[in-house]
Structure 1
Amino acid sequence: MTAARQSLTALSMMLALIVTSCNLALAQKAYDTGASDTEIRIGNIMPYSGPASAYGVIGKTEAAYFRMINASGGIRGRKITFISYDDAYSPPKTVEQARKLVESDDVLLVFNSLGTATNVAIRKYMNEKQVPQLFVASGASKWNDPKDYPWTMGWQPSYQDEARVYAKYIMKHNPDAKIAVLYQNDDFGKDYLKGLKEAFGDKAAMIVAEEAYETSEPTIDNHIVKLKAAGADTFISITTPKFAAQAIKKAAEIAWTPMQILTNVSASVGGVMQPAGYENSQGILSAAYLKDGADPQWDKDPGMQKFIAFLKKDYPEGNRLDGATAFGYAAAQTLVKVLELCGDDLTRANVMKQAANLKGFVPDTLLPGITINTSPTDFAPIKQLRLMRFKGEKWELFGDIISSSLSN
């Protein structure tokens, strides 16, 4: 063989190897609509207006977190395009926005959209389209149904589990309590109320008064007056932030001083307790799974230091006292973890597969001892809580971590 022919043969072999390597690299990458070599398109729906607009902070925090990820190179070189729309906490509007995200904006998934009734309105559509409805921002127990809705997964603890924790606390510390319940007249309020009654069991008669309110009501003052008139000495407020603050203020105005229990979704210092008045909020009980940005005990905590650094550099308008900020940060961090686990297989099926295989993941703002765990048969990532009591200008944790398995 001549030298020239040897060179040509060697060159041909090199070219063949290059082509083979390229083909292998291409074969290892898999994309669905919304993903490519350079981009990952994520949809989101938030109540930036309307009765639950206080939660809009979550979407703004997530947008800032993804900008931070992009500034540091993205996820395996892919930049996140975060498309977030306002639904004003209105289910019909949620349906409209979900269709826009999936059919016009071509997102890979819809992430952390807020609200129980609003997410119920799009769950069937998302599953029919086989688009992940991932880490729903609602504690309804129905998000943990991988058999019937394999494309929908929750994120935060179940409302029913949280309600059971409160019921157990009341039965232990005040077994003769006369309980008044204010609840939002939708899937959020009803799911929570169901958990309460199931936990009380044959002692459900302890609930002497129930008042349901509509999110369209400008004020819930009249409901608070009725609950006081029922002679209750214990008040459970199953409310979103606007109405939670109103309830605390009105109870103080009419000199009603029951033991108050406030659902976790409205336990924000900056979003509820401060507007309601610190002087009116003393002694209120709730439960937590996230660190409180108002609590100096976390000042030297490595995770909280990362969170504060993020606020200073990437989200300076963010309020560390608002629990929704810590929530949005942790949820966004969880999604980034899932996308990293996906590697170069950014198909919708693989997104759900990785989301259903999280083991011991700990976002920076989760309380110590609480971890995120999922499986193909368990779509409830967070199942642990700690009780807390409001004192001064912050929440004080007490007792041990309570898992849902212990609160049933």
Structure 2
Amino acid sequence: MLDRAIRVVALTFIAAAALTTAATAQKKYDPGASDSEIRIGNIMPYSGPASAYGTIGKAQAAYFKKINDEGGINGRKINFISYDDAFSPPKAVEQARKLVESDEVLLIFQSLGTQSNSAIQKYMNARKVPQLFVATGATKWGDPQNFPWTMGWQPNYQSEGRIYAAYILKNFPNGKIAALWQNDDAGKDQMKGLRDGLGDRAGMIVADKSYEIGDPTIDSQIVALKDSGADILTTWAAPKGAAQAIRKVAELGWKPVYFIGNVSTSVATVLKPAGIENARGIISTAYIKDPTDPVWKDDLGIKTWLTFMDKYFPDGDKTNNNNVYGYATAQTMVQVLKQCGDDLTRENVMKQAASLKGFTSDVLLPGIRINTGPNDYFPIEQMQLMKFNGTSWELFGEIITGEVGH
């Protein structure tokens, strides 16, 4: 009888120990994660030549506050630590080191700019800290073999260039193309996509000019491109440069078929400064809903976003699609953290980021889905063409998938 009692007590202890071990095994943390919080780092150009993008970080901070007010993610609150790099690569390196070594964040999310991300990419991968959903469409962010800790989010620039090329070949097969591009990996990627998409018709590009993001003006480049005799213009520029180009083209009385990169389609930060009337007829691409487009006035997703803006980011501009972008990226980040469950290791964060299947956001265009895999670090690869009608952007044509191989 005593033996049996001892056996029962022993079995109880073994069972309890097993449960404790199981519970402990279920929770795994790296620096930046605990039972109560998840620390996320971010680097944005709140000042400097690309400060128009700074509102993205503010929209993300607002969305994470909303998530925290709703109880957090699996009971953990997000501590979002966002620093300014003024769009300066050396400053980005300084801020990345501070986030990883001093703030001990779990990951860096949505650091903005091709040059800034290029400057921190090797450091992040050497430290094995996720550089997740970077805010730039350079193709180099989809290279899991060489940089397994870096992943993009938005459609890559080469895909966008190919989409414009296909449209030009179909509708303006005898056109002469002039191109303005930012002298960095982003601009080079976009030009490569355009040339590759034109294939043996790449000779249609009769002139191209580069510019530096810090240049005070791009007037001389636009004048030279007009003088080339081109009747099609593509500009790959950050918001300030894009606005200057639109204004200068109008001043010169030049009327080319005009394409601008989708990173500079904001009515608030590009088209209004350029002069709305000067932007009529411009073509670009989209993958997120534009809150200024009347087609979405009764859309549930945009209504949800507007409610969010009213409550959590009342100072934010509701005509600025950068605030839609910030919301969509934050929703994607939250989905990854939900999938992580109680395994909040950096390795599992990357594993879950590479395991998104058919995920969408309130504000992605209908039919666009986020899909990733261990060898597919390009979350969004679909876009739709759109044209500015003088008031808002109007979508046209089908959803197009970029053709850049992985």
Partner of 2:360 in structure 1? 362
C-alpha distance in 1 between matches for 2:35 and 2:9: 29
Matched, 1:307 2:305: yes
Worse overlay, 19-28 or 85-94 = 19-28
C-alpha distance in 1 between matches for 2:350 and 2:170: 40
Moved over 6 A (4+): 8-16
**How do 1:129-168 and structure 2 match up within 5 A?**
129-168=127-166
C-alpha distance in 2 between matches for 1:329 and 1:268: 15
Worse overlay, 283-292 or 194-203 = 194-203
**How do 1:85-104 and structure 2 match up within 5 A?**
85-104=83-102
C-alpha distance in 2 between matches for 1:182 and 1:270: 22
Partner of 1:70 in structure 2? 68
Per-residue deviation at 1:405? 3.5
Per-residue deviation at 1:296? 2.0
3-state DSSP of counterpart to 2:376: coil
Are the counterparts in 1 of residues 159 and 404 from structure 2 also a CA contact under 8 Å? no
> How many correspondences in the alignment?
405
Look up the equivalent residue of 2:23 and give its one-letter code. Answer: A
Are the counterparts in 2 of residues 179 and 208 from structure 1 also a CA contact under 8 Å? yes
3-state DSSP of counterpart to 2:122: helix
Alignment counterpart, residue 171 of structure 1, candidates 155, 169, 172: 169
Worse overlay, 16-25 or 297-306 = 16-25
3-state DSSP of counterpart to 1:349: helix
C-alpha distance in 2 between matches for 1:62 and 1:214: 28
| Deviation string, structure 1 residues 20-62 (Cα, Å, up to 9, x no partner) | 4333212210000110000101011111111111111111110
Look up the equivalent residue of 1:62 and give its one-letter code. Answer: Q
C-alpha distance in 1 between matches for 2:10 and 2:357: 47
Partner of 1:382 in structure 2? 380
Tell me, which stretches of 5 or more residues in structure 1 are unaligned? none
Are the counterparts in 1 of residues 301 and 362 from structure 2 also a CA contact under 8 Å? yes
Are the counterparts in 2 of residues 164 and 407 from structure 1 also a CA contact under 8 Å? no
C-alpha distance in 2 between matches for 1:191 and 1:51: 21
Are the counterparts in 2 of residues 33 and 106 from structure 1 also a CA contact under 8 Å? yes
**How do 1:137-286 and structure 2 match up within 5 A?**
137-286=135-284
Partner of 2:24 in structure 1? 26
C-alpha distance in 1 between matches for 2:360 and 2:90: 35
Look up the equivalent residue of 1:348 and give its one-letter code. Answer: R
- Aligned CA-pair RMSD: 1.9
Matched, 1:122 2:120: yes
Alignment counterpart, residue 318 of structure 1, candidates 313, 316, 319: 316
3-state DSSP of counterpart to 1:201: helix
Tell me, which stretches of 5 or more residues in structure 2 are unaligned? none
Are the counterparts in 2 of residues 234 and 260 from structure 1 also a CA contact under 8 Å? yes
Per-residue deviation at 1:152? 0.6
TM-score by length of 1: 0.95
Per-residue deviation at 1:14? 6.4
Per-residue deviation at 1:199? 1.4
Are the counterparts in 2 of residues 165 and 407 from structure 1 also a CA contact under 8 Å? no
Worse overlay, 328-337 or 247-256 = 247-256
3-state DSSP of counterpart to 1:237: strand
C-alpha distance in 2 between matches for 1:407 and 1:171: 21
Per-residue deviation at 1:15? 6.8
C-alpha distance in 1 between matches for 2:253 and 2:354: 49
Alignment counterpart, residue 107 of structure 1, candidates 96, 100, 105: 105
Worse overlay, 359-368 or 311-320 = 311-320
Are the counterparts in 2 of residues 161 and 407 from structure 1 also a CA contact under 8 Å? no
Per-residue deviation at 1:316? 0.7
| Deviation string, structure 1 residues 240-299 (Cα, Å, up to 9, x no partner) | 001101111111111111111000000111111122111101000000000001012212
Look up the equivalent residue of 2:306 and give its one-letter code. Answer: I
Partner of 1:340 in structure 2? 338
3-state DSSP of counterpart to 2:215: coil
| Deviation string, structure 1 residues 349-387 (Cα, Å, up to 9, x no partner) | 000000001000001110000000000010000000000
3-state DSSP of counterpart to 1:227: helix
C-alpha distance in 1 between matches for 2:71 and 2:8: 38
3-state DSSP of counterpart to 2:332: helix
3-state DSSP of counterpart to 1:260: strand
C-alpha distance in 2 between matches for 1:379 and 1:21: 37
